[in-house]
């Protein structure tokens, strides 16, 4: 079974608007961490934001915020005031405390295009 | 200074050849990884080393052999390259293995094309 599911292969958003990228996860481990990474067309992987399973508040980093709904097992990324430079592939990932070596497992990604 | 550097950035080679990709991190991290990103952009872990010891070895063919001469370096050697090996290979590092909040720092990737 997939541990991380990103159901939106592609998304479009108008410049300056907000956009939500969906991510659901599957784990029975009470302790885990959720991550979002950005991969622009140049190819590098850029860390954006982290949410811990025990964190009471949603994580925020500048224009990025994570809408963490633990009961629904969702960790959606919200990008406010989109900019052209936000056009990229976005990956949701999870690390569980248990399991072999606590590897970081990635979803299939969402390609975001910001329109001028 | 680049935190995680891998070379080469592009590698074009014939089927059957042997090639290596080098990775170095100057972050003082204990753990290093190799990930493979396929043509559909899916990222899958291949190997993980912690303090030069192999921790994760996913279902990767024996033709792939990682080597960690010290904890700052994790090289990937691939024997008898096949067409299906064409992908982007990412090296990454993290400070420690154990913590769930440890983010990965990635290299810029090596685009391998097997002809």
pLDDT band at A45 (very low <50, low <70, confident <90, very high): very high
CA angle B10, B16, B18 (to 5 degrees): 55
Reference B74, options B48, B97, B98; nearest CA is B48
- Is residue B93 within 8 A of residue B73, CB to CB? The reply is no
Reference A55, options A41, A39, A64, A66; nearest CA is A66
Say which of B48, B88, B103 has its CB closest to residue A103: B48
- Is residue B43 within 8 A of residue A105, CB to CB? The reply is no
What number of residues does chain A have? Answer: 116
- Cβ count near A20 (within 10 Å): 14
From A88, which residue of chain B is nearest by alpha-carbon distance? B41
- Looking at the complex, report in whole angstroms how far the Cα of residue A8 sits from the nearest Cα belonging to chain B: 14
For residue range B14-40, list pLDDT tens digits in order. Answer: 999 999 999 999 999 999 999 999 999
Please tell me whether residue A89 adopts helix, strand or coil conformation: strand
Question: Which of B43, B58, B91, B108 would best serve as a mutation to test chain A binding (most A beta carbons within 10 A)?
Answer: B43
For every residue of B98-114, which 3-state class applies, written as one string?
A: CCCCCCCEECCCEEEEE
Size of interface A-B (CB pairs under 8 A): 60
- Looking at the complex, report in whole angstroms how far the Cα of residue A43 sits from the nearest Cα belonging to chain B: 7
**Residue-by-residue pLDDT tens, chain B, 115 positions:** 669 999 999 999 999 999 999 999 999 999 999 999 999 999 999 988 888 888 877 778 999 999 999 989 999 999 999 999 999 999 999 987 667 888 899 999 999 999 9
* Contacts with B84 (C-beta within 8 Å, 6 or more apart), sequence order: B114
Determine whether the interchain pair A102/B88 forms a contact, defined as Cβ–Cβ distance below 8 Å. no
* Token couple for A13: 């958003």
Determine whether the interchain pair A104/B90 forms a contact, defined as Cβ–Cβ distance below 8 Å. no
């Amino acid at each position: 079974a997939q541990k991380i599911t990103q159901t939106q292969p592609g998304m479009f958003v108008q410049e300056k608007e907000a956009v939500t990228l969906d991510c659901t996860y599957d784990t029975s481990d009470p302790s885990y961490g959720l991550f979002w990474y950005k991969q622009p067309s140049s190819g590098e992987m850029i860390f954006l934001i982290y949410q811990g399973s025990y964190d009471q508040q949603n994580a925020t980093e500048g224009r990025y915020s994570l809408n963490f709904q633990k009961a629904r097992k969702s960790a959606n990324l919200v990008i406010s005031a989109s900019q052209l430079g936000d056009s990229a592939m976005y990956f949701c990932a999870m690390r569980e405390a248990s399991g072999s070596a606590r590897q970081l497992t990635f979803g299939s990604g969402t390609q975001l295009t910001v329109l001028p | 200074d680049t935190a995680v550097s891998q070379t080469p950035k592009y590698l074009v080679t014939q089927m059957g050849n042997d090639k290596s990709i080098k990775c170095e991190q100057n972050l003082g991290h204990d753990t290093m990884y190799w990930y493979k990103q396929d043509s559909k952009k899916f990222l899958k872990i291949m190997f993980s080393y912690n303090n030069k010891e192999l921790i994760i070895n996913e279902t990767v063919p024996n033709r792939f052999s990682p080597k960690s001469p010290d904890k700052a370096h994790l090289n990937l050697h691939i024997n008898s390259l096949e067409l299906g090996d064409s992908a982007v290979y990412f090296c990454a590092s993290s400070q420690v293995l154990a913590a769930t909040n440890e983010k990965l720092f990635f290299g810029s990737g090596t685009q391998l094309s097997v002809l």
